[in-house]
């Protein structure tokens, strides 16, 4: 009896594994074709100025409309795209699309707000990035300080010297740089010293309890004070409540981002947001 049961179980597991492998291959195949199929879009999450509550810019976040079946979130495909070597090309599409959108806002006579794009490790290992970014900006007539880029500390691990050199070149071209998810990496302070950044983005894990846990509040206050000493501005990520906003404002956080103000918005809704809030 138990031998038979074991055989059934083995059959069950191998079928389940077979299905998982098939799903994964299907995902890979779809992802490889997604760029050519025009299935990517950008959503734009506002960054709100603490001083006057107005929109100061946006972060562009990638969405994949997989085969018209609805939007897939980056958590489900960014890592795979990177593994498959697709993220350099997809990342250039993101830069191009963000520049195109900024030009569209300008053409509609709206205030010129900077848009930040997220970089991937492979992009920071690609010397062609600098030239391609410059070309995209020129093609759409984007001013030097119109485009921002967000990098994480963990992106520096592969080849830090190369990555830092690329970031310096981008910065010299006028691109603004932020350290994303600040405080969650391995050697934040070392990179703070060496990276030519303008902004720190306080990771959501510190923001979540800023109004309820004095340790988190002290950590936020300390990181904000340090950033200001270094001449950097601070964006708090993942602000979801008025209490969090107030606690961060009391600690002189410069900018807020989070569901309390707005979710990432499709381009047309971001356009309305600019009209209403700038
Ligand atoms: P990230 O750059 O740290 O972006 C912030 C993430 O937090 C976004 O998730 C955003 O939708 C979410 N978020 C914003 N406000 C709140 C809030 O109040 N509460 C909560 N719970 N979440 C909030 P999303 O869009 O799913 O992106 C996840 C990550 O995927 C990003 O983290 C970024 O690392 C990566 N990513 C997104 N777009 C791109 C891209 O174009 N290129 C690359 N390389 N990575 C990207
Ligand atoms: Mg980001
Ligand atoms: Mg972030
Ligand atoms: Mg984050």
pLDDT in tens, 211-270: 999 999 999 999 999 999 999 999 999 999 999 999 999 999 999 999 999 999 999 999
- Ligand 1 atom with the smallest distance to the CA of 42 is 41
Q: What integer pLDDT is reported at residue 191 of this predicted model?
A: 81
- Ligand 1 atom with the smallest distance to the CA of 239 is 18
On whether ipTM exceeds 0.95, the answer is yes
Mean pLDDT of the chain: 93
Distance (Å, whole) CA 88 – CA 152: 16
Separation of CA 110 from chain center: 24
Residue located nearest, by CA, to atom 29 of ligand 1: 74
Residue located nearest, by CA, to atom 23 of ligand 1: 238
Q: Which residues of the chain have pLDDT under 70?
A: 1-2, 187
DSSP for 90-107? Answer: HHHHHHHHHHHHHHHHHH
Give percent of the chain with pLDDT exceeding 90.
78
Does the CA dihedral 51-53-55-57 come out positive or negative?
positive
- Ligand 1 atom with the smallest distance to the CA of 61 is 38
Q: Is the pTM of this model over 0.90?
A: yes
Distance (Å, whole) CA 66 – CA 63: 9
What phi-psi label fits residue 183: left (phi over 0), alpha (psi between -120 and 50 degrees) or beta? left
Q: Which residues surround ligand 3, an ion (CB under 5 A)?
A: 180-181, 237
Neighbouring-strand partners of residue 265: 44
Q: What integer pLDDT is reported at residue 189 of this predicted model?
A: 81
Q: What integer pLDDT is reported at residue 1 of this predicted model?
A: 62
């Amino acid at each position: 009896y138990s031998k038979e049961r074991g055989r059934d179980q083995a059959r069950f597991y191998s079928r389940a594994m077979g299905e998982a492998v098939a799903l994964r291959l299907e995902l890979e195949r779809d992802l490889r074709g997604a760029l050519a199929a025009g299935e990517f879009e950008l959503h734009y999450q506002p960054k709100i100025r603490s001083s006057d509550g107005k929109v100061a810019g946006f972060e562009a976040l990638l969405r994949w409309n997989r085969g018209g079946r609805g939007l897939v979130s980056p958590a489900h495909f960014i890592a795979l795209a990177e593994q498959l070597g697709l993220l350099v090309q997809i990342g250039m599409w993101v830069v191009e699309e963000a520049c195109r959108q900024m030009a569209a806002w300008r053409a509609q006579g709206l205030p010129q707000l900077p848009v930040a794009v997220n970089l991937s490790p492979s992009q920071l290992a690609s010397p062609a990035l600098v030239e391609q970014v410059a070309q995209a900006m020129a093609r759409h007539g984007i001013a030097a300080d119109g485009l921002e880029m967000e990098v994480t500390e963990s992106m520096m691990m592969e080849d830090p010297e190369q990555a830092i050199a690329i970031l310096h070149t981008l910065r010299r071209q006028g691109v603004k740089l932020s350290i994303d998810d600040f405080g969650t990496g391995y050697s934040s302070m070392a990179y703070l010293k060496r990276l030519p950044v303008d902004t720190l983005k306080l990771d959501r894990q510190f923001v979540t309890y800023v109004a309820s846990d004095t340790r988190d509040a002290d950590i936020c206050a300390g990181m904000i004070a340090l950033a200001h000493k270094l001449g950097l501005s601070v964006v708090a990520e993942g602000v979801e409540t008025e209490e969090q906003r107030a606690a961060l404002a009391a600690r002189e956080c410069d900018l807020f981002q989070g569901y309390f103000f707005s979710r990432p918005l499709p381009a047309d809704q971001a356009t309305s947001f600019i009209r209403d809030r700038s």
